[in-house]
Structure 1
Amino acid sequence: MLTVHHLGRSQSERIVWLCEELGIPYELQHHTRDAQTMLSPPGLRALHPIGSAPVITDGDVLLAESGAIMEYVIARHGGGRLSLPPGHADYPHYLYWLHFANGSLQPAMGRRMLIGRLQVPADNPVRRMAEERLDRALRVLDARLAGTTWLAGEEFTAADIMMGFPLTTMRHFAPLDLGPYPHILAYLQRIAARPAYRRAMAKGDPGMELLLT
């Protein structure tokens, strides 16, 4: 049985959402953050040396990293659904946006969050650079969504599942006004309308406010 080890308010929501979209059987194992540090509890750290979520077990397989898990689950349990094959016209877009969330957007959000917590002055050149890089990433994303329904094209894919976390739940830790990016906001409403997304969030983080605006 595929077991998803889920830490509340974390990237592991992607794997729960993926399983719901694919309609595959899985067991959901909840882990709770340390009340003081807000970090992973000892049980999750003992499961995998990296000490963060998501982690899955699948028979003898133990795997971390949300992107790797997404590809594994799609290939092993999803019959390739929610991915695009290399011969598909939108395959390059699929690959790019599949990796954009963790490769570009989340690092930019994380830098901005840390600089803010360190109370770096607004006129500091490092802070200005961090703000500019985040805005650039969001404008690239907004421009893409101005001309297409989903990130890879007109077909919903795993790239959209990867993108959901930084645009929604991560904003609980790194507040971000998406008002200047209307196409991202419209995209979030399309995500909100997906029954599998709603089921996943209700199972993984019941009661959490969904930051979809």
Structure 2
Amino acid sequence: MITLHHLEYSQSFRILWLLEELGTEYELKLYNRNADNNLAPDAYKALSPLGTAPVITDENGLVLAESNAVIDYILDQHPDSPLRPAGGSPERADYLFWFHASIGSMMPMQFMDGIFTVLQKRSPFFLRPVISAVLGQAQKLLVQPRMTTILDRLEHDLARHKWLAGDQLTAADITMSYCMASAKQRGFVNDSRPGCMRWLEQMEATPSYQSAMAKDGRETMVFSFD
């Protein structure tokens, strides 16, 4: 049986949602962040050399990190699941794009934006105007154009079908959940992005998402940089 080692306010929520959607048996172990620095506790870091969430263990001795690797490993055990469209299907290309864009494009941009924000807020008071001006310009040049491009693509695809890879929920939607919730939290997604807002609403209304949130025990899955 798979054990999900779930760190609060982390990307491991996606694995929790995946397991709930599959309806498979699993064990859940919850970990809180250290109160002094918001980092994972030592017990969590000891699970994997990366010390990052998510991490799963399996009764065969496997220890596996990295979100998409974990998702693929779990779906390999459920080959008939519609959560991963088959090769050659009309949904496959969109599925692959969004499955990997979540980690390859969207999260790095938001992480960079979060770091810029933290540096502005925590810079010395007498230097803050200069530092804020420089970092604010960097956000405009490095983050906003790329986020605009990917959100435009999201709006385009969500105008064509209900979910990211067609009219049925897939693992691409699950892996994008943290990115999209974070994008809304950071102000990238708002009422000017009706397709994205609709997607977030239907995500939150999905029974498996709701049961995952209940087991998570928190009002949001997203860690705030602010």
**TM-score normalised to structure 1 length:** 0.91
Residue 186 (str. 1) matches residue 160 (str. 2): no
2:139 to 127, 137, 141: 127
The aligned amino acid for 1:140 is R
The aligned amino acid for 1:2 is I
Q: Which residue of 1 aligns with 2:37?
A: 37
Structure with the higher fraction of residues in helix conformation: 2
Q: Is the 8 A contact 2:8 2:33 kept in 1?
A: yes
Query: In the aligned structure 1, how far is the partner of 2:134 from the partner of 2:23?
Result: 47
2:43 match: secondary structure: helix
Identical positions, percent: 36
Query: In the aligned structure 2, how far is the partner of 1:175 from the partner of 1:141?
Result: 16
1:200 to 212, 216, 225: 212
Q: Deviations over 1:27-48 (max 9, x none)?
A: 0000110101101100011110
2:105 match: secondary structure: helix
Q: Give, in angstroms, the shift of residue 109 of structure 1.
A: 1.0
1:118 match: secondary structure: helix
Alignment coverage as a number of residue pairs: 208
Q: Give, in angstroms, the shift of residue 146 of structure 1.
A: 1.5
Aligned Cα root-mean-square deviation (Å)? 1.9
Q: Which residue of 2 aligns with 1:9?
A: 9
Q: Which residue of 2 aligns with 1:109?
A: 110
2:169 to 156, 161, 167: 156
Q: Deviations over 1:137-180 (max 9, x none)?
A: 222212211211011111210000001111125766x4545222
Q: Is the 8 A contact 2:184 2:190 kept in 1?
A: no
Query: In the aligned structure 1, how far is the partner of 2:25 from the partner of 2:150?
Result: 35
Q: Give, in angstroms, the shift of residue 192 of structure 1.
A: 1.4
Deviant stretches of 4+, over 3 Å: 122-125, 169-172, 174-177
Q: Deviations over 1:184-208 (max 9, x none)?
A: 000111111110000001102x132
Query: In the aligned structure 1, how far is the partner of 2:14 from the partner of 2:135?
Result: 36
User: Aligned pair in 2 of structure 1 residues 63, 80: CA closer, same or farther (>3 Å)?
Assistant: farther
Query: In the aligned structure 1, how far is the partner of 2:98 from the partner of 2:220?
Result: 26
The aligned amino acid for 1:163 is M
Query: In the aligned structure 1, how far is the partner of 2:135 from the partner of 2:24?
Result: 50
Q: Which residue of 1 aligns with 2:68?
A: 67
Q: Which residue of 2 aligns with 1:87?
A: 88
Query: In the aligned structure 1, how far is the partner of 2:184 from the partner of 2:45?
Result: 24
1:180 match: secondary structure: coil
Q: Give, in angstroms, the shift of residue 17 of structure 1.
A: 0.5
Query: In the aligned structure 2, how far is the partner of 1:197 from the partner of 1:180?
Result: 25
Q: Is the 8 A contact 1:10 1:170 kept in 2?
A: no
Query: In the aligned structure 2, how far is the partner of 1:140 from the partner of 1:14?
Result: 22
* Ranges in structure 2 where 5+ consecutive residues have no aligned partner: 121-131
1:56 match: secondary structure: strand
